[in-house]
Each structure stands twice: as structure tokens, then as C-alpha cells.
Structure 1
Amino acid sequence: MKIQRLVLLAVSSLFSLSACSQPTNQQIEESLEKITFVLDWTPNTNHTGLYVAQEKGYFEELGLDVEIVQPSEDSASMLVASGKAQFGISAQDSLAANYASEKPLPITTVAAVLQHNTSGIMSRQGEGIDRPKGLENTTYATWDSPVEQATISNVMAEDGGDFSKVKLIPNTIVDEPLALKEKQTDSVWVFYGWGGIAAEVAEVPIDYFYFKDLNPVFDYYTPVIIANNDFLSEKGDVTKKFLQAAKKGYEFAIASPKEAADVLLKAAPELNQTLVYASQNWLAKQYQAEATEWGVIDAKRWNDFYHWLGENQLVEKNIPENTGFTNDYLME
């Protein structure tokens, strides 16, 4: 009996030591690298892979504690540049002015969320705006951006149209399909994966043309993931881990769009469920498309768009080749 008590005591001591040596949840959380990721707008299906990586623990598996936030009064670019966020969402066209300035913000694009520019002009079906020339003598809701208007002017000219004949009205639209249905405008620039799908869900018949199909120079990258340059320099290994987890999240969204949509809806229950499911199913084929892997950026396409901006004097100065992006951190 004495021997048995000693054995039990020894076993009990081992279990106690083992329990003491196990890290607590608080200790695990404190050991994780804290990352802030700022979106470009409210949550939508462009962001699904990030929410998947967060929900399924892909970030945590690689030692990261990622908080996904929405921008406040500052843009994602400003928040990332200031170091208030390490990563964020932007777009190649939006970043152009920064890279052409004398003192650019310290940010670099490290991954493409989508492989192709899915934006274009959406209009009411059957009214002749299924091609650029059809915009003549109609109303277009504009953001009054020089790059935006130069893009439309270019595709119109190639189609024998005259941009000066388009009646420009301010774009204050929140619901594009409804705006078309109620004839607040005849056409509007949208990204098909959200605006176009929203029209399908709302059963508003539309015509649509993609800019990239009319001029390959407009197949630039939007949206993209940007990072703070100091963070890249100091914590390149952490950046690789972040992108590895994000890539896994987007690959899940590609393979299982419905389940991925469920994750997004859990994070943002205010979204239209029917729209999210339809958009997610459509975008599943767009995240990677024909690329060898998610996130990679083709240097020629990146440079061609910035060359076009310089040639058309849409930026302060020409942007040197390969400025503002890298694929290096996508490598595991």
C-alpha cells in the first residue's frame, strides 16, 4: 500500500508539473504578433479570404493575431503609411498619384486580391450603352476623377465616340441598380463582382462592358494589399507569414465559396445574404483566375498602366518601372 501511495503521488506530481508547463490562453495571445489590417471600405466579398484566415485560425497558426478594421476619417493608405496599420486594401489606380509625388507615402503593394480589373460601365439594358460610343448624349454619374474620365474618354475614342457629348452628373449613388432603375443616371462605373451581381440579384436588366476588354492597359490591379515599408524592412518574415495565411484563406474561398460566404456573413451580418452568396460564387473564379498562384502581380501589366498615365499627363511625373509593388513576400 505504501508503494502504491508513492506511485500515485509521483504520477500526480507529473500531471501537476505538466499542467503548470502548459501555456494559458492569455500567454498564447500575448505571444502572438499583433497585426492591424485596414479595409478600403465596408466588408464585402473582396475581403472574404481575410475573414476566412481569421475565422479558421490560419493567422494564429503562424503566430499572428490579426485585427481587421474599417477606415475612419483617413484612407487605408494613410493609416498604413503612418504605421497605425501594418497592412491594408488599396488599388493600383488610387496609388498612382502617391508614387508620382515628390515625397511618396512609405507603402508597397505586396499582393493582388483579384487577378484582373473587373470594373466597367453598367447601364439599363437595351438603351444602347452596351458599347462605349453609346455613352454619347446620356448621363453618367462621375466621381470627377481625371483618371476615371480619361479612361472613359479613351475607350469611347477607340469606339468612334466623343466623351465631350456625355452629360456628367455627380456620383452620390449608394445603390447602383436602384439608381439605374429609377433613372437617376443612365450609366455608372461599377465592379461587376459586387455592383453587377447586385443588379442580377435585384432583377434589374443591365448592359455592361469591361474596360480591360476594350484596352488591355486598363487591366490593372484592383484591389490590392499594401504594407508599411518600415514593417516590411524590419519584419519581412512576419509579412510572409501574413500573406501565407491570407493566401490560404483565399484558396478556401476559391474552393468553397458558400462556406466562405458564411464566414463573411458571420463577420458582417448586416450584408445582404443573397448578394453575398451570389457575389462569392462569381468571385471564386476571379481571385486567382489563370495565375499560377493567388496574389502574384504581373510586372508588365503593372508598368503598362503607369506608363499610360504618364503618357497622358495624368500624374505629376512619370512613374519608374516596377515602382510600388513586389512579389517577394508571397514566397514561403
Structure 2
Amino acid sequence: MKKTGLAILMAAAAAAFLTACGGTGKQAANTNASDLKKVTFVLDWTPNTNHTGLYVAEEKGYFKAEGLEVEIVQPPEDGAAVLVASGKAQFGMSFQDSMAPALAGENALPITAVAAVIQHNTSGIISRKGEGLASPKGMEGKKYATWDIPVEKAMVKDVVESDGGEFSKVQLIPSTVTDEVSALKSKSVDAIWIFYAWAGIKMEVEGLDTDYFAFADLNPAFDYYTPVIIAGNEFLKQDPETAKAFLRAVSKGYADAEKDPEGAARILLKAAPELDEKLVMESQKYLADKYQADVETWGYIDPQRWNKFYGWLNENGLSSPEIPENAGFSNDYLPQ
């Protein structure tokens, strides 16, 4: 699951993957492999339940039905954005928060979010149960595992101080957490920023009682989109029909994951057998009603919510230059 989109984006390394082949248009399900259009999708992290719809679409032939041969690949250390922007991959997994530095200024990248994988932000702060951290003020005097990223710290500061606490009293410990359950059990840290669908469910599976508060419940600006599927602007301009075909197939994959989470989990486990079966099953059930949630179309990005988060960044001096309204997303490629 996402460690943090910002950390991945700002890390420094690169890799190369094959550029997509030519050709456009939807094709029949029985298309010969040699006739399929090759598309590369870069994950944000190792396979997990954020990605299930991709693997379902592959397993059930939804990509092939659209005339596509999709290669799902692991990301380099700098994440999917650079590869997608360069055209070395057509699609990738990213996050609205980590896209922020890519949308304005000299380091802007030609990328666009074309679908929201999950409708609402499921991230928040988790801690051992009964130690006073059920609300943000309780972080005072406690050890928080920080990535030391300005946006991350500004969000934690916002919720702590809105709850009447003093952010300066939070002990910021450089994050070396690779296993959230072990980190809390060992008391090396008291509070960790997690995405509940994976790390929170892992706490439940392993029997650790916790307290948790979600960012989206505390500030409407923090109900941003995480994760999102991104595509390169030049690719979208030159080959919009392939983009639409890909998202038609993926939307079917996530619809199946919503209707049959256990069946979808088995498909993910087949693709990534190294994953813990119980964790995948329980995580898939947790996410089943969250992929599409309260919108009519899977993948839809609400402009008001999108702009609200970037507006908050602008207002708090966290983006220089400021991110323009409606920058970085489009609903134009989603199934109609």
C-alpha cells in the first residue's frame, strides 16, 4: 500500500520500460495477440487491493476485449509519474497529494489523473488502543513516525491544532516503519499515518487493538483522491480512444471487485501469491463499497473536492507557484 505518494515521487531514481506500440480502436475479444495494442501500466508499490481491478480486468479478458495487451509493472523509486510523463508508460498509479509538485512550476510534468480508484481518502493516524490518541490532540507528547515532508506535517499540524493541541509538542520521529503492527507492538513509535484498507486491516487480522482517526473526517479539504490512475498528456492527446478503451476495461474490473470481493481477492492472490491470503481477503471486503461509493460512475473525480485540497495547499503556502484551478485531472476518458 502507499507508504506516501510524496515520498515516492520525490525519491531519486529512474528506470525504462517499453513504449506502447501504434494503432487505435476497440477490437473484438477474440483478437489475435499479435493484433493487440500494447499498453504499460506502472504500479505505485507492490501489488495490493488498490490494484485489484487491474488484475481482474486482465484475468477476465476485459483488456483483450478492448484490443489491448496490458503489461503491469513495478515502479522505479521515483514512482510512476516520470515514466508516464515521458511516454515510456501509458498509465500509472499515483495520488493527488503526490501529484501536487508535478502540476505547477519548473518541475511540472505533463500528466493527468483520469480516474479515481477509491472515492474517498481512507488514510489517518493509528495508535495503540487506550493511550489517548483517539483524537489528534492526543498526539501531544507522543512519538509520531514522520516522513518529514512539508505537506504531511502541515496536515498533521492542521488536525492537531484544530483539536486544541499544540503541534510543537508532537515528537517527530524519522519513519523507518516497514511493518506497522510490529512498530506499534514494540512501542518504537506511538502513532503512524496509514491507509486503513491495508495497514488498518492488518492490525485487525493480527489482533492488535487500535485507536484511529481519519483525515477526511476532520477537514473536508483532506478528502482528496488517493490513489488515482494517471496518463501522459501527449498520449491522451494522440490516442484518446485507447485511453477510453483501457478505462472501460478497468472499470469492469473494479465493478467485479465490488460485487464479488472474495473472487477478486483470489485473482489478486493468483497474480501475487506472496501476499497474505487473510489480509487480502479482509482488505478486499473493506474496499468493496469504497471503490465507487457515492458516485454514479466508477473513477469520477469531483472538481470541487479536487480543487479544495489544492486550494488548501495554495492557502498554506505549500505550493509555489500556486496550483491552478482544475489542474491535473479529467473525467473525459471515463465510460459514459
Does TM-score exceed 0.5, indicating one fold?
A: yes
In structure 2, how many angstroms separate the alpha carbons of the residues matched to 1:73 and 1:158?
A: 35
Alignment of 1:219-238 (within 5 A): 219-238=223-242
Shift of the alpha carbon at 1:285?
A: 1.2
**Secondary structure of 1:328 counterpart:** coil
Matching residue within 266, 276, 279 for 2:280: 276
Cα distance change, pair 29–201 in 1 and its aligned pair in 2 (3 A): same
- Deviations 1:65-89 (CA, angstroms, capped at 9, x unpaired): 0010001244210111111110000
Partner of 2:3: none
- Deviations 1:234-265 (CA, angstroms, capped at 9, x unpaired): 11001000000000000000000000000000
In structure 2, how many angstroms separate the alpha carbons of the residues matched to 1:129 and 1:119?
A: 15
Shift of the alpha carbon at 1:27?
A: 7.9
% identical aligned pairs:
60
Alignment of 1:162-311 (within 5 A): 162-311=166-315
In structure 1, how many angstroms separate the alpha carbons of the residues matched to 2:323 and 2:254?
A: 30
- Deviations 1:177-198 (CA, angstroms, capped at 9, x unpaired): 1110111100000000001000
- Deviations 1:152-181 (CA, angstroms, capped at 9, x unpaired): 100111100011101111111111011101
Q: Does 1:42 align with 2:42?
A: no
Structure 1 runs of 4+ aligned residues shifted over 6 Å read none
Partner of 1:85: 89
Greater Rg over alpha carbons, structure: 1
Cα distance change, pair 300–185 in 1 and its aligned pair in 2 (3 A): same
Partner of 2:24: none
Partner of 2:76: 72
In structure 2, how many angstroms separate the alpha carbons of the residues matched to 1:292 and 1:175?
A: 36
In structure 2, how many angstroms separate the alpha carbons of the residues matched to 1:155 and 1:115?
A: 21
Residue identity opposite 2:79 in structure 1: S
Shift of the alpha carbon at 1:318?
A: 1.3
- Ranges in structure 1 where 5+ consecutive residues have no aligned partner: 1-24
In structure 1, how many angstroms separate the alpha carbons of the residues matched to 2:178 and 2:282?
A: 19
In structure 1, how many angstroms separate the alpha carbons of the residues matched to 2:91 and 2:271?
A: 19
Cα distance change, pair 73–137 in 1 and its aligned pair in 2 (3 A): closer
Matching residue within 36, 39, 43 for 1:32: 36
Shift of the alpha carbon at 1:331?
A: 3.4
In structure 2, how many angstroms separate the alpha carbons of the residues matched to 1:119 and 1:262?
A: 25
Q: Does 1:131 align with 2:135?
A: yes
**Secondary structure of 2:247 counterpart:** helix
In structure 1, how many angstroms separate the alpha carbons of the residues matched to 2:60 and 2:96?
A: 29
Alignment of 1:44-59 (within 5 A): 44-59=48-63
- Deviations 1:289-314 (CA, angstroms, capped at 9, x unpaired): 11111100000000010010011001
Shift of the alpha carbon at 1:103?
A: 4.5
Residue identity opposite 2:303 in structure 1: A
Shift of the alpha carbon at 1:98?
A: 1.0
Partner of 2:16: none
In structure 2, how many angstroms separate the alpha carbons of the residues matched to 1:70 and 1:109?
A: 19
Q: Does 1:101 align with 2:88?
A: no
CA contact (8 A) 2:31 2:64 kept: no
- Deviations 1:24-54 (CA, angstroms, capped at 9, x unpaired): x998111111000000000000000000000
Partner of 1:8: none
CA contact (8 A) 2:113 2:230 kept: yes
**Secondary structure of 1:329 counterpart:** coil
Residue identity opposite 1:100 in structure 2: A
| Superposition TM-score, scaled by structure 1 size | 0.91
CA contact (8 A) 2:30 2:65 kept: no
Alignment length (residue pairs): 308
Partner of 1:18: none
Residue identity opposite 2:85 in structure 1: A
Cα distance change, pair 201–36 in 1 and its aligned pair in 2 (3 A): same
Shift of the alpha carbon at 1:102?
A: 2.7
Q: Does 1:60 align with 2:61?
A: no
Alignment of 1:135-150 (within 5 A): 135-150=139-154
Residue identity opposite 1:209 in structure 2: F
**Secondary structure of 2:197 counterpart:** helix
CA contact (8 A) 2:31 2:65 kept: no
How large is the Cα RMSD of the aligned pairs?
1.3
Cα distance change, pair 165–177 in 1 and its aligned pair in 2 (3 A): same
Residue identity opposite 1:42 in structure 2: T
Q: Flag the structure with higher helix content.
A: 1
